[in-house]
Amino acid sequence: MEISMSRREFIKTSAATAAMLAAGMSAPAMAAQGDGGITFGRAQCRFCGTGCTVLVGVRDGKVVAVKGDANSPINFGRLCMKGYSLPHIMYGGGGKERLTRPLVRQEDGTYKEVSWEEALDLIADTFVRYIEEYGPDSVAWYGSGQNTTQEAYAANKLFKGIIGTANVEGNPRLCMASAVGGYLNTFGADEPAGSYDDIDSADTIFIIGSNMAEQHPMLFRRVIDRKSAYPDRVRVIVADPRTTPTARYADLHLKFKPGTDMYLLNAMAYVIIEEDMVDYEHLKYCTFRVGLGPKGEEMDLDAFREFLQDYAPEKVEDITGVDAEDIRLAARWFGRRGYTALSMWTMGLNQRTQGVELNCQVHNLHLLTGKIGKPGCDSLSLTGQPNACGGTREQGGLTHILPGHRALVNPQHRREVAEVWGVPFEQMPTKPTGPAVDMFMRLEKGDIKAIWINTTNPAQSLPNCDRYAEAMKKAFTVVSDIYWNRTTEVATVVLPSAMWVEKEGVMGQTDRRSQFIEKLVEPPEDARPDFWQINEVARRISEKLGRKVRYAIRDRKEPLKILDTIEVYGLGFYDDPRVKRGEMTPEEAAWNEYRVLTRGRDVDLYGATYEKLKAHAGGVQWPCPSTEFENRGSNKRYISRDYAIRVFGRDKKRYATGYVTLYDQHMEELGYPGPINYYGEHKLKNTKDKAVIRALTPTLDYEMPDESYPFVLNTGRVIEHWHTGTMTMRVRLLRELNPAAYVEIHPSDARKLGVKSGEKIKLISPRGSIVLPAWVTERAQPGMVFVPWFDENRLINDLTIDVPESWSKAAEPDYKVCKIKVARA
């Protein structure tokens, strides 16, 4: 279709308006409904865990434009190149590549188009047959940090509430599990205290195991803004074995040898104590323990100092490959008195054998220096997916957890959830089954007969992926997705899903934030929202099993108020009379029920009404207990005593812990005393209201190089592509910019092998091999190569490690350190 001049002028005016506003100029007001026929609606970006707020332009039922929302407190109107590609991801191959009809694999391996009724009946019949024959643990759900919270919640209710299995896992296990373990071991509760706002007042910014400039570019833009505004005051430290663009920007790059960062972090703690940068006042609110877990022996600062003697920078510089003076400088910048410090990290720490320990070590630095709970100070784990926090960590989308940061093994927690779900307490599973990779191992063994994989591509993303693709092919595997990919091609049933703004939902990001995604266009042909799919299967399964749900019809603003109850087969959301009358969506019904399960918990989203989520760019940050329209929660989960006095003008005995939550502050102002804690509850003795500094003896990753396999393989993402490339490889610009996987190899290694950029080299691990073109670059380091995993035609995860000994204490696989040999191809 040709763009007419008037229309073209309209688009240019829109572009000019956005640019002028972002440049700090006044610009002519643009109506939300433009005369160019484009209507803008609000959503959250579909890609990473930053959660940039975007305005999505729709014309003639199609997404045609996108711009950053200038009102967003996250991205302030900016977007990255992936964000600007959002319209393209919906219409891959000119729209012809979307999955649009349910498919069932036939005996000859071809797929037959079937009706939704046939597909859903087949799924329900098969699942019920296995449940009745082999028990509830013979079926499983494998979801995603890209599911909306309502989808994840519906699946959780179906599998744990109706079927009664804890076989609920998802790809966040491969992504954020170690971070959860770190927060739990240190603070007794998951998720960070601070928020993105801390970047804007941070003096030292410590980035470890994260290529923010490429993978969280809008957050890194805030780092650049802060550094540019105060170039002499702000110091950026990057610890990374690769010289990434993030590292190149840093004032100090600690290019440590792969696998040795536990030594590096202990050395920084050593310097902080040795050079007297400890905040002794703050240590009153901390306790020291040996090792991880609930049985750690108690120690004091002197014992901790003694423990660190082996990790003086001069003693670890050979191990880490980092000059002792650089380690000292990093620690001095981190600990300097009168300055703030913020740490950020992602997969470089999480996807590691020692993932939980590394997270705790970063927390240690903040606790020792008291640089936490104050503006500009936080230990902030960045998430990789747009709803890993909301849909999985908060909603309880893994085998061992339940909604509202509850534990499956806790009978009281199970009882609370069963009550809200309207299912018998006895129907709930009592014990976790196993984490993600273990789930696929049980699929391979045949213990799990049927699995539903939703919005994720494990045949490409699991470690040693070919092994599990085979297992998926043999089992009854249902895959819901938008495009054909490595996992759909091993599916028994493929369900075509609606994506992003073709459906509505809520997503929750890194800094305890939940945002609303508005439905703006219809999905193509017969594609349907995953939420609908889950509800339809749930209705069929519950009816076949004869298990009704007592669904509570709740007040929309104050869902604690139950207006009526009905007995239904299924999850109940589509049976709500207001949904049937078209007065509210079933997704809102699910969200309101979920809000009740967060009430009174640390992750309190009770106040996050649909009305608020729709109205506010950037959504709501928990804790948000109040339904008052203007209350959008808090950018600080916990604030320091000094800050509380300064802001609220008072100090009370109950603040003796040194910390008060804004949650409690709000509750107190509302006349509700509420408990006042420092973070969560530990199982350790003498830790009430305290955070735990862990003395952790460094270990190396499970698979370090040896004589047979002398190189380290590191894997990760690239700026142009996201995860397995299912979406971004369908965007021409991104595909042309980065069309295929390659190997980053250091010039010194390339010389030894006699290879130049573009020539092929072979990588061989104990599990598999691959041939890829070389990119000779100093981004790598001698003895370490890097390969991205977006390329479905070159599966680097055929080489990565899947054995349980390589998992972190939170069962997250190690994708960062895997031994290989390298040869000319």
Partner 1 sequence: MSLRRPVLQNQEVKHLPISGAVVVPVPGREEEVERSLRSLPGVEVKGRGAKGIAVVMEGRTTKELKKLSERIENWEDVVDFQLVYLNVEDEVE
Query: Which residues are known to be catalytic?
Result: 82, 175-176, 347, 384-385
Q: 53-59 and 62-68: which strand pairing?
A: antiparallel
Q: Is 66 left (phi over 0), alpha (psi -120 to 50) or beta?
A: beta
Six token digits for residue 488 = 């759909």
Interface with partner 1 includes 473 (CB under 8 A)? no
Nearer to partner 1, 61 or 649 (CB): 61
Q: How many CB atoms within 10 Å of residue 656?
A: 13
Binding-site member from 454, 485, 598, 677 for partner 1 (CB under 8 A): 485
Q: Show contacts with partner 1 in window 110-169 (CB under 8 A).
A: 110-111, 113
Interface with partner 1 includes 91 (CB under 8 A)? yes
Six token digits for residue 587 = 């997704």
Segment interacting with partner 1 (CB under 8 A) among 94-102, 297-305, 344-352, 540-548: 94-102
Residue 52 Cα distances to 72, 375, 726, angstroms: 8, 22, 20
Smallest distance from the beta carbon of 81 to partner 1, in angstroms?
7
Interface with partner 1 includes 735 (CB under 8 A)? yes
Q: Show contacts with partner 1 in window 784-823 (CB under 8 A).
A: 792
Rounded to whole angstroms, the Cα distance separating 245 from 213 reads 6
Binding mask 211-250 for partner 1 (x = CB under 8 A): ----------x--x---x----------------------
Segment interacting with partner 1 (CB under 8 A) among 96-104, 134-142, 749-757, 775-783: 96-104
Nearer to partner 1, 469 or 579 (CB): 469
Smallest distance from the beta carbon of 735 to partner 1, in angstroms?
7
Smallest distance from the beta carbon of 67 to partner 1, in angstroms?
4
Smallest distance from the beta carbon of 284 to partner 1, in angstroms?
43
505-509 β-sheet, strand order: 505-509, 513-517, 620-621
Binding mask 758-787 for partner 1 (x = CB under 8 A): ------------------------------
Segment interacting with partner 1 (CB under 8 A) among 6-14, 368-376, 462-470, 747-755: 6-14
Q: How many CB atoms within 10 Å of residue 24?
A: 6
Q: 513-517 and 53-59: which strand pairing?
A: unpaired
Segment interacting with partner 1 (CB under 8 A) among 105-113, 129-137, 345-353, 631-639: 105-113
Smallest distance from the beta carbon of 243 to partner 1, in angstroms?
19
Contact by Cβ (8 Å): 818, 704 = no
Smallest distance from the beta carbon of 559 to partner 1, in angstroms?
38
Residue 392 Cα distances to 149, 408, 543, 599, 630, angstroms: 8, 14, 27, 17, 27
Q: Show contacts with partner 1 in window 49-78 (CB under 8 A).
A: 57, 59, 62-68, 77-78
Smallest distance from the beta carbon of 218 to partner 1, in angstroms?
10
Of residues 249, 270, 286, 238, the one with CA closest to residue 335? 270
Binding-site member from 41, 49, 51, 92 for partner 1 (CB under 8 A): 92
Q: Show contacts with partner 1 in window 7-26 (CB under 8 A).
A: 8, 11-12, 14-25
Helix, strand, coil abundance in the chain, percent, nearest 5: 35, 20, 45
Contact by Cβ (8 Å): 49, 382 = yes
Nearer to partner 1, 46 or 413 (CB): 46
Rounded to whole angstroms, the Cα distance separating 122 from 120 reads 5
Six token digits for residue 601 = 């918990």
Phi, psi angle pair for 606, to nearest 5°: -55, -35
Nearer to partner 1, 227 or 393 (CB): 227
Return the ∠ at Cα 470 (arms to 465 and 475), rounded to 5°. 125
Rounded to whole angstroms, the Cα distance separating 101 from 436 reads 28
Tell me the residue type at 595. Answer: R
Nearer to partner 1, 190 or 792 (CB): 792
Residue owning tokens 């970063």: 362
In 3-state terms, what secondary structure has residue 707?
coil
The single-letter DSSP state of residue 483 is B
Nearer to partner 1, 1 or 32 (CB): 1
Binding-site member from 127, 220, 345, 484 for partner 1 (CB under 8 A): 484
Smallest distance from the beta carbon of 469 to partner 1, in angstroms?
13
Smallest distance from the beta carbon of 213 to partner 1, in angstroms?
13
Six token digits for residue 64 = 């045609």
Nearer to partner 1, 501 or 571 (CB): 501
Bridge partners of residue 282, in order along the sequence? none
Rounded to whole angstroms, the Cα distance separating 484 from 479 reads 10
In 3-state terms, what secondary structure has residue 64?
strand
Contact by Cβ (8 Å): 356, 809 = yes
Interface with partner 1 includes 35 (CB under 8 A)? no
Rounded to whole angstroms, the Cα distance separating 311 from 305 reads 10
Smallest distance from the beta carbon of 345 to partner 1, in angstroms?
25
Segment interacting with partner 1 (CB under 8 A) among 97-105, 148-156, 294-302, 783-791: 97-105
Smallest distance from the beta carbon of 732 to partner 1, in angstroms?
6
Q: Is 25 left (phi over 0), alpha (psi -120 to 50) or beta?
A: beta
Return the ∠ at Cα 322 (arms to 316 and 326), rounded to 5°. 105
Return the ∠ at Cα 793 (arms to 789 and 794), rounded to 5°. 50
Of residues 35, 42, 26, the one with CA closest to residue 506? 42
Binding-site member from 61, 94, 649, 673 for partner 1 (CB under 8 A): 94
Smallest distance from the beta carbon of 48 to partner 1, in angstroms?
17
Nearer to partner 1, 219 or 441 (CB): 219
Binding mask 690-729 for partner 1 (x = CB under 8 A): ---------------------------------------x
Interface with partner 1 includes 667 (CB under 8 A)? no
Binding-site member from 673, 736, 754, 805 for partner 1 (CB under 8 A): 736
Q: 3-class secondary structure for 319-351?
A: HHCCCHHHHHHHHHHHHCCCCCEEEEECHHHHC
Binding-site member from 81, 252, 700, 825 for partner 1 (CB under 8 A): 81
List residues near partner 1 by CB under 8 A.
1-3, 8, 11-12, 14-25, 57, 59, 62-68, 77-79, 81, 84, 87-88, 90-97, 101, 103, 110-111, 113, 221, 224, 228, 483-485, 489, 729-730, 732-733, 735-737, 792
